[in-house]
Amino acid sequence: MTKRALITGITGQDGAYLAAFLLEMGYEVHGMVRRSSTESSERIEHLTDRIHLHQSDLLDQSSIVGLLKDVRPQEVYNLAAQSFVPTSWLQPLLTSEVTALGVTRILEAIRLVDPAIRFFQASSSEMFGRVREEPQNENTPFWPRSPYAVAKAYGHFITVNYRESYGLFACSGIMFNHESPLRGKEFVSRKVTDAVARIKLGAADRVRLGTLDVERDWGFAGDFVRAMWLMLQQKEPDDFVVATGQKHSVRELVALAFARVGLESARYVEIDKALYRPAEVNRLCGDFSKARRVLGWEPTVGFEDLIAMMVDADLERVKRELAGGC
């Protein structure tokens, strides 16, 4: 029997990778898209004739219930969120509505429509915030440092709570930063690789960044969506850290990206204190040994290869743009 999966956030970075992965696994893939005056399906353009898109919104309970009744999925992947940390200080209530309460809306809809649905929640390493230990594992206490991280902590615990209260097959993936050529351009990795491509091709002369001394555990989005799927194929629902176990600074990321095109980063980077955050997460590094042991999951793309992949893709894209293509 063909399995049906519903992905919220299908127009985002992870949604695009997960949709492609599930199609390859033989799934019928459905996606929630919110209404917008301009289309935001650029990342899934190449898949649109093989997937089913439905208008719905994490802010609207009845649209979610209606969607589950229409699609009748066996698996739901909740990737939708207001996912950018700085925006969460500018729009804290919207962030809570979507990133926190949105999770309860879906869980309630699952409980009412079909409690047999398996549910994945995209939780975040940002929940660890001011870290209590290193590396962070599934038992490390949270200390969220932004409205986004607080909302994600709610989403994580409500997922655990619906599993414990109602016996739902609900899993939380505590995912460390993961990037790709499809990453949003406001996130630091893509902001840098896009700028490197523009500078190399003469379309820009510098990039403004915030603090360079913070460290993150950066992995490849294509690897992370495989972990999401594996979680929903287990006998029992559980929570897993998904990470690479390696941390690097933004400074290293910048140097590596510029070196890829033979440039020296110091000449092109300007520090803009306006980009500093009201409360910073200085370092994150994940211990994914549970995912390796239980799911058999491992990352396949290392940090250097990831940055090279992103710089190369941005070079090609900017070249096309400059040549007048799309």
Catalytic residues: 124, 126, 148
Nearer to ligand GDP among residue 56 and residue 124 (C-beta): 124
Number of residues interacting with ligand GDP: please give it, by CB under 6 A.
18
Nearer to ligand GDP among residue 53 and residue 313 (C-beta): 313
Beta bridge partners of 242: 175
**Least distance from C-beta 113 to ligand GDP, angstroms?**
32
Does residue 107 bind ligand NDP (CB under 6 A)? no
Burial class for 288, CB neighbours closer than 10 Å (0-12, 13-18, 19+): buried
Does residue 187 bind ligand GDP (CB under 6 A)? yes
Does residue 182 bind ligand GDP (CB under 6 A)? no
CB 83 within 8 A of CB 149: no
Tokens, residue 113: 């429509």
Nearer to ligand GDP among residue 166 and residue 276 (C-beta): 276
Name the segment binding ligand GDP (CB under 6 A); options: 9-17, 111-119, 185-193, 313-321.
185-193
Does residue 14 bind ligand NDP (CB under 6 A)? yes
Burial class for 185, CB neighbours closer than 10 Å (0-12, 13-18, 19+): exposed
Beta bridge partners of 118: 75, 169
Nearer to ligand GDP among residue 63 and residue 244 (C-beta): 244
d(CA 90, CA 75): 33
Tokens, residue 112: 């009412």
Does residue 310 bind ligand GDP (CB under 6 A)? no
Does residue 48 bind ligand NDP (CB under 6 A)? no
Three-state DSSP class for residue 269: strand
d(CA 226, CA 112): 28
Does residue 34 bind ligand NDP (CB under 6 A)? yes
Nearer to ligand NDP among residue 94 and residue 263 (C-beta): 94
How many Cβ atoms sit within 10 Å of the Cβ of residue 169? 21
User: Which amino acid is residue 87, in one-letter code?
Assistant: T
**Least distance from C-beta 77 to ligand NDP, angstroms?**
9
**Positions in 171-230 near ligand NDP (CB under 6 A):** 175, 177-178, 184
**Positions in 52-91 near ligand NDP (CB under 6 A):** 57-59, 79-83
Tokens, residue 258: 């510029």
Residue 88 interacting partner from ligand NDP, ligand GDP, none (CB closer than 5 to 8 Å by kind): none
Displacement of CA 140 from its chain's centroid (Å):
21
* Phi-psi label, residue 324: left if phi above 0, alpha if psi -120 to 50, beta otherwise: left
Name residue, tokens 């802010």: 59
Name the segment binding ligand GDP (CB under 6 A); options: 28-36, 87-95, 206-214, 224-232.
206-214
User: Which residues are near ligand NDP by CB under 6 A?
Assistant: 8-9, 11-15, 32, 34, 36, 40, 57-59, 79-83, 98, 122, 124, 175, 177-178, 184
